[in-house]
Chains A and B, each alone.
Chain A
Amino acid sequence: MSRVIHKFTTRVPTWRPHITPIDLDSATPAQREALKETPSNTKISDYVLVLAHDPESLRIRTSLFNGIMYDKGGLSREERELGAVAASVVNRCIYCAAVHAQRYNHIVGDEKVMQDIFLRGKEADLVPRVRAILKFAMRLSECPPNVSQDDIQSLREVGLDEQEILDLTLSTTLFGWANRLMHTLGEPVSSH
């Protein structure tokens, strides 16, 4: 029996859906169309097969997801992943946090930052730029969202320009979206 995971980890768990994933063999034409592109161009997961119950939304969402995380220019790849992790920590989406912490670690080649964020959240001991990004993204992910001129100013002070602030906003809020699907339509269980 696999057990549900409640603690943050960089070992990517298995996602167990609460909703029956659609059956590819009996998928409608609209569902097949929506499944042509997958997040981060990975194989079709149970998560995507659950979202395929609403093909109209899924078809657009996947292109938007890939664009926000991978389109060229603006904020660096690792800082977009940092925004994703910050939202996932606030929303306690163990699965999203694991996937995107792992991607962050892979890009920067170090595990210390994520370890500290998982342990201490906003209080993590980080260099000023990383700390400012984390704090902004976590405050934005709360309900109601917190964002003021001071919050924007705190990003400018560590060197983010208008484009980077927009890109950070998109990757952070995209995960407010993803977390609300991933964390409610299923749960993370230990992989074997």
Chain B
Amino acid sequence: MTHVIEKAANVPATGPLAEALAMRGKLMDLTQASYEAALLPVDEGQVPASVRAALACRMARICQQAGLSQHYADLLQRYGRDADPYQLAQPGTRPPKEQTRLGAMVAYVDLVTQSPRDATKADIDALTQAGLEEADIVRLAGLVAFVNYQLRVTAVLSVMGENS
């Protein structure tokens, strides 16, 4: 399977950057495996894969990462036309008030993507109060943390690849 990051960053197949990536081939494989664990997990808990794709797309757009915004928009589309009824893939949107769990999840995604330094215990308490189980909070936090890593690796590789 082609790695998502190298494809989204349009990394050249040969040259010094390709060689550097080959030297870290095991790490790029583990990065791809982490992508699959975060976006396409066997045990998705109460955080469905379609919601994960929508939130990942939202983060990619917040971080203005073109390659991954496109990747996640395509992934989301694979879950069907109704996969993202509240357009959460679009930054700035909020689900309707009665969608308490989704609302709390979106608030966490926005805060921890844009300003993780401002997160406090109250932000985890808000997820619990909205009805998320502890395991699902860890799954959500893992998704947000991984995607923010992936976005930055892709951003650097895109720029490095331009001149190779």
Contact = CB atoms under 8 A, between A and B. Distances in A.
B81 interface: no
Given A64-B30, A140-B155, A173-B148, 8 more contacts: A50-B138, A59-B37, A67-B24, A67-B26, A141-B152, A147-B156, A166-B24, A187-B121
Given A167-B24, A184-B124, A178 B155 contact: no
A140 B162 contact: no
B152 A60 contact: no
B160 to A, nearest CB: 6
A176 B138 contact: no
A42 to B, nearest CB: 19
Contacts of B160: 152, 162, 165-166
A92 B64 CA distance: 23
A176 B155 CA distance: 14
Nearest to A21: B134
A7 to B, nearest CB: 13
A102 interface: no
B117 A91 contact: yes
A111 interface: no
25 contacts: A18-B125, A19-B138, A56-B37, A57-B34, A57-B38, A57-B142, A60-B33, A64-B30, A64-B34, A73-B23, A74-B20, A140-B156, A143-B115, A147-B155, A151-B159, A163-B20, A163-B23, A165-B156, A166-B24, A169-B153, A176-B148, A178-B145, A180-B141, A181-B145, A184-B123
Interface residues of B, number: 58
A183 B159 CA distance: 29
B58 interface: no
The majority secondary structure among interface residues of chain A is helix
Interface in B107-164: 108, 112-117, 119-121, 123-125, 134-135, 137-139, 141-142, 144-146, 148-149, 151-153, 155-157, 159-160, 162-163
B13 interface: no
A172 B144 CA distance: 16
Interface in A111-158: 140-141, 143-145, 147-149, 151-152
A60 B152 CA distance: 19
B139 A54 contact: yes
A176 B137 contact: no
A180 B153 contact: no
B73 interface: no
Nearest to B15: A162
Contacts of B146: 57, 177
A99 interface: no
A154 B38 CA distance: 34
Contacts of A59: 37
A92 B119 CA distance: 10
A166 B161 CA distance: 11
